[in-house]
């Protein structure tokens, strides 16, 4: 009998064969899997792995700056860092929070919450300075990273804050120039793509790519930073001293229409705009309308003279009271019958005298001149929220509308509109549209100057000259604004003390708006300055409250702009016929 292999159960040969077959099967499975991974799905899996490693970050564009007329920055964007965390890499969030809290000035428990969890990306703090990140980076904390960003700052704090505005948390302009020029200032963001390895380190590979950000354009204003500072300080001071609800001032170049200063009190700091109330952030010089009161008599006087109905020395017999359409009109002081000239009625701010003078011309002419002076029309300064003012259409006039409008009530305007009325008279009767934007500057440095403002003749040059002489009488002997005088300079202007309309009841509630708008030098006009003090609790008249503020602001502006003193004496117009 021949020899045969021993394949009995449990024999060594049989066990070897089974092991060999098992090994072959496992190897086959691995081989099949390897072929699947490398040949069949290799490219897809590699792409998926790469996708997990790739990070794409947005590179924020630097927002354009906002500059004053000389190029000084009122708003700029600076480099900053957002601190981020990969929570899966942080073993002890509480311990990391202890390290970060004093640097970020954030409570430890808040930071610990932000660092705990399984999120691969989490913001820890936004907009910190590069030096703050350097301090954090030196700690070499696992899972703590940063990414480049930018931060908006306002170097001058509250200076011109109502004009400049602020940037909201989402990066868009929330008010002022920041809002109305948001698209131009914003620029275009870029992108950076890179591979991230364990611990968040960047892996230098051919998959890195970047698209550069394009910065926004700059916006240059007509505002003079130094004049703005003085105007703002003066307005803040009069609000405090008088207990007023608010006050505004505008300084305007009468020849160009450029706004050199626009101050509103109370003000706010755009670096901390969330701490200010909405009404504190409102640019009242363009948004708030009010009845101008006696400063509106300038329009009436100009219309009367330009229509040839009367002249500065035309006599007017002014009674103690005047009835029209069942209503009795009074002056702010009690008096018997006065024999005044038109200049006297204007300089002494007689409501009755101005009504009688206005009745010498057709009623429709007063409305026509108000429209030509810009009442009920937006000035289109380029700032958001500007009001057009309010004036009744001729068909809606009541029987008392005309006499009321003749002395400056019955219509509403803004500080800018009323200051522009005086600038028009000072400019020889030619109205120049106000402007606050000087130029925009492209990222490559190209300067795009704003086109020249539109000009429109409202009254004749001779009429403007006569009204200017009447306005000088307001500041002279017997006028209502001796406190507006500036040594060495001739000043022309008009006071106003108008009843304040309560928006809740739409009625006169006893409060007033005290104002003074003036021009200097009166013999060679350069500046028109308007000051309005709303709802003062201490003091009441425009000559008492607003005229000194005018003097302070205008004195500084004349010196800052090196405008020479007056060379001629002021004309003397008689206020009475007696």
User: Within a 10 A sphere around the Cβ of 522, how many other Cβ atoms?
Assistant: 22
- What DSSP string describes 89-148? G-S-HHHHHHHHHHHHT--HHHHHHHH-SS-S-EEEEEEE-HHHHHHHHTT--TTEEEEE
179 is catalytic: no
Exposure string (b/e) for 244-271, b if CB count within 10 Å is 16 or more? bbbbbbbbbbbebbbbbbbbbbbbbebb
**Spatial separation of the C-alpha atoms in residues 229 and 220, rounded to whole Å:** 17
**For residue 141, what are its two tokens?**
């904390």
Task: Indicate the burial class of 127 (C-beta count within 10 angstroms; 0-12, 13-18, 19 or more).
Answer: middle
Contact criterion met (CB below 8 Å) for 219 and 184: yes
Q: Which residues contact 142 (CB under 8 A, 6 or more apart)?
A: 89, 90, 91, 199
Cα gap 369→405, rounded to integer Å: 12
CA 551 to CA 546: how far, in whole Å?
9
Q: Quick one: the chain helix, strand, coil %, rounded to 5?
A: 35, 25, 35
| C-alpha–C-alpha distance, residues 220 and 436, integer Å | 9
Alpha carbon of residue 567 to chain centroid: 39
String of DSSP letters for 439-476 = EEE-TT--EEEPPPPPEEE-S-HHHHHHHHHHHHHHHS
CA atoms within 13 A on the CB side of 92: 7
- Which residues is 78 bridged to in the sheet? 151
**Among 352, 350, 357, residue whose Cα is nearest residue 312:** 357
513 contacts 290 by C-beta, under 8 angstroms: yes
Catalytic residue among 294, 349, 350, 376: 294
Query: Going by C-beta distance under 8 Å and a sequence separation of 6 or more, which residues neighbour residue 533?
Result: 238, 239, 242, 244, 247, 513, 514, 515, 542, 545, 546, 549
Please, are residues 557 and 529 in contact by the beta-carbon 8 Å criterion? yes
The counts of H helices and E strands in the chain are: 18, 24
Could you write out the DSSP letters of every residue in 61-96?
PPPPPEE-TTS-EEEEEEEEEEEEE-GGG-S-HHHH
- Within 13 Å of residue 475, how many CA atoms lie on the same side as its CB? 29
CA distance 269 to 529: 25
Indicate the SS3 state at residue 507: strand
Residues 174 and 282 sit within 8 Å (Cβ to Cβ): no
Catalytic residues: 294
């Amino acid at each position: 009998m021949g020899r045969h292999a021993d394949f009995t159960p449990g024999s060594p040969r049989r066990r070897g064969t089974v092991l060999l077959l098992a090994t072959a099967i496992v190897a086959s499975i691995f081989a099949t899997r390897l072929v699947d991974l490398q040949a069949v799905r290799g490219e897809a899996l590699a792409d998926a792995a790469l996708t997990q490693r790739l990070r794409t970050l947005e590179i924020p564009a630097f927002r354009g700056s906002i500059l004053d007329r000389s190029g000084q920055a009122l708003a700029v964007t600076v480099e900053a860092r957002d601190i981020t965390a990969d929570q899966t890499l942080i073993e002890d969030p509480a311990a990391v929070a202890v390290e970060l809290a004093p640097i970020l000035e954030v409570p430890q428990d808040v930071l610990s919450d932000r660092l705990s969890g399984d999120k691969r990306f989490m913001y820890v703090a936004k907009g910190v300075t590069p030096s703050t990140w350097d301090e954090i980076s030196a700690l070499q904390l696992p899972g703590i990273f940063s990414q480049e960003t930018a931060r908006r700052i306002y170097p001058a704090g509250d200076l011109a804050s109502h004009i400049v505005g602020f940037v909201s948390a989402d990066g868009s302009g929330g008010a002022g120039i920041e809002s109305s020029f948001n698209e131009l200032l914003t620029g275009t963001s870029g992108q950076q793509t890179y591979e991230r390895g364990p611990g968040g380190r960047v892996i230098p590979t051919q998959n890195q790519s970047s698209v550069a950000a394009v910065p926004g354009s700059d916006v240059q204003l007509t505002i003079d930073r130094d004049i703005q500072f003085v105007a703002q300080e003066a307005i803040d001071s009069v609000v405090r001293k008088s207990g007023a609800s608010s006050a505004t001032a505008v300084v305007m170049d009468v020849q160009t229409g450029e706004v050199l200063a626009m101050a509103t009190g109370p003000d706010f700091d755009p670096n901390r705009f969330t701490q200010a109330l909405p009404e504190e952030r409102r640019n009242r010089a363009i948004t708030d309308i009010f009845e101008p009161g006696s400063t509106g008599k300038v329009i009436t006087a100009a219309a009367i003279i330009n229509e040839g109905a009367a002249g500065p020395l035309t006599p007017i017999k002014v009674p103690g009271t005047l009835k029209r359409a069942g209503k009795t009109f009074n002056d702010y002081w009690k008096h018997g019958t006065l024999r005044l000239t038109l200049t006297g009625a204007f300089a002494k701010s007689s409501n009755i005298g101005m009504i009688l003078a206005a009745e010498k011309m057709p009623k429709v002419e007063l409305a026509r001149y108000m429209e030509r002076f810009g009442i009920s029309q937006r000035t289109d300064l380029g700032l958001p929220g500007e009001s057009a003012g309010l004036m009744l259409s001729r068909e809606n006039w009541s029987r008392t509308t005309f006499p009321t409008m003749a002395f400056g009530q019955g219509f509403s305007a803004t500080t800018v509109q009323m200051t522009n009325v005086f600038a028009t008279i000072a400019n020889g009767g030619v109205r120049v549209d106000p402007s606050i934007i000087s130029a925009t500057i492209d990222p490559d440095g190209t300067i795009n100057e704003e086109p020249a403002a539109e000009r429109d003749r409202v009254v004749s040059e001779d009429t403007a000259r006569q009204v200017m002489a009447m306005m000088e009488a307001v500041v002279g002997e017997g006028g209502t604004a001796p406190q507006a005088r500036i040594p060495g300079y001739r000043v022309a202007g008009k006071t106003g003390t108008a009843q304040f309309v309560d928006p809740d009841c739409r009625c006169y509630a006893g409060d007033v708006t005290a104002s003074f708008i003036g021009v200097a030098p009166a013999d060679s006009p350069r500046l028109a300055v308007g000051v309005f003090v709303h709802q003062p609790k201490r003091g009441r008249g425009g000559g008492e409250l607003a005229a000194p503020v005018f003097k302070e602001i205008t004195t500084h502006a004349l010196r800052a702009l090196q405008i020479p003193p007056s060379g001629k004496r002021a004309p003397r117009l008689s206020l009475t016929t007696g």
